[in-house]
Amino acid sequence: MSESRPTPDGPVGKAPESPGVLLSVLGVSGMPVESLRTDLKMTIRGGLNEHHEALVTTVWTLPAHPDQLASVRSGDRWFDSFEESIRYTAPRAETDLATGRT
């Protein structure tokens, strides 16, 4: 059986018995707890199941926006680009929803 890795906030996760499980992998990654929370929130809110999907989305989208691609290539903007691509591809309602307005 896997052991939990202790953190200031308590155990984060168990060593992955199934390496494809994002939470298990992140839980033993050694990342600070706050970074784990942020990454999980971004992944869930973005509707992307794995970090590689988010990265591929970022790389796929950048050529359509040459100014942003140039900005990423000129410096350390990959993280900003990654966050924006997750925000941009977040799930949205595909049907009309009643909001109480007339």
Domain coordinates in residue numbering, the chain: 1-46, 50-91
Mean pLDDT of the chain: 69
The answer to whether the pTM exceeds 0.85 is no
* Residue bearing tokens 């155990």: 11
Q: Dihedral sign for Cα 9, 10, 13, 15, please.
A: positive
Tell me: the pLDDT tens digits for 64-96? Answer: 889 988 988 888 788 888 888 777 776 665 666
pLDDT of 23 above 50: yes
